[in-house]
């Protein structure tokens, strides 16, 4: 008697891979509009984004600046407000996605894949995005510590982007999933640890760090520009 064949898995990043923008950015902006964060945070956010657009730093610098800005102002805020902001912003931004990712998700879902998201954005907005739009089997994001009163301490208790591969290994073990025929898609160096594990790694619109790794390892590189999708060999 043969055992049941393990379900295949596909692992996705969100920001810059599925979502055209950045959920962390949008959450900070929404919290500022709600006056949970001070008004000047919106000006700081605009400056961070302008620096990225004007090549004053790398994409990793941009993401790091968002994390630092959020960590600075989330201390003392209520988790209820972050959940409210997350729920409010998703309907407006949900469909701002990449065509390539949408097609791949549709294909893999039709083939019965177990779909997993791992993002560096806060878990509240990641889970809400998944709940309202993606409907993946599981979603992971950064977890910020909350005290007994439901207020954030400002400490990041769990940051999956620091080692996504380790999280995938644990998830596979706990859910008895296989890497056979597996897919992975991401856009930055933080995604390399799980892309290196899967059978079909895809570097999508990669930053310089991931592009270098993908070229060295012979991974598929896909670029989507406006409404054109092409592979770089």
Q: What is the pLDDT of residue 5?
A: 59
Domain coordinates in residue numbering, the chain: 8-232
CATH number, domain 8-232: 3.40.50.1000
Q: What is the pLDDT of residue 59?
A: 85
Across the chain, which has 233 residues, the per-10-residue mean pLDDT values are 69 97 96 96 94 87 94 96 97 94 97 96 98 97 96 94 95 94 97 97 96 97 94 81
Question: Do the Cβ atoms of 142 and 122 come closer than 8 Å?
Answer: yes
């Amino acid at each position: 008697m043969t055992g049941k064949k393990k379900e295949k898995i596909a692992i996705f990043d969100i920001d810059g891979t599925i979502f055209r923008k950045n959920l962390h950015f949008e959450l900070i902006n929404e919290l500022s509009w709600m006056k949970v964060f001070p008004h000047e945070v919106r000006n700081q956010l605009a400056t961070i984004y302008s620096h990225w657009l004007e090549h004053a730093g790398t994409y990793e610098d941009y993401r790091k600046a968002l994390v630092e800005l959020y960590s600075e102002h989330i201390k003392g805020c209520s988790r209820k407000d972050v959940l409210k902001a997350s729920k409010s912003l998703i309907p407006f931004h949900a469909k701002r996605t990449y065509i390539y990712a949408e097609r791949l998700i549709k294909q893999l879902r039709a083939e019965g894949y177990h779909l997993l998201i791992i993002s560096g954005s806060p878990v509240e907005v990641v889970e809400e995005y998944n709940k309202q739009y993606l409907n993946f089997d599981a979603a992971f994001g950064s977890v910020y510590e909350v005290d007994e009163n439901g207020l954030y301490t400002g400490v990041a208790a769990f940051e999956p982007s620091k080692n996504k591969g380790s999280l995938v290994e644990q998830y596979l073990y706990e859910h008895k999933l296989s890497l056979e025929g597996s897919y992975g898609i991401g856009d930055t160096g933080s995604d390399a640890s799980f892309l290196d594990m899967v059978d079909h790694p895809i570097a999508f619109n990669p930053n310089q760090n991931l592009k270098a790794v993908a070229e060295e390892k012979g991974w598929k590189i896909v670029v989507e520009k406006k409404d054109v999708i092409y592979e770089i060999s």
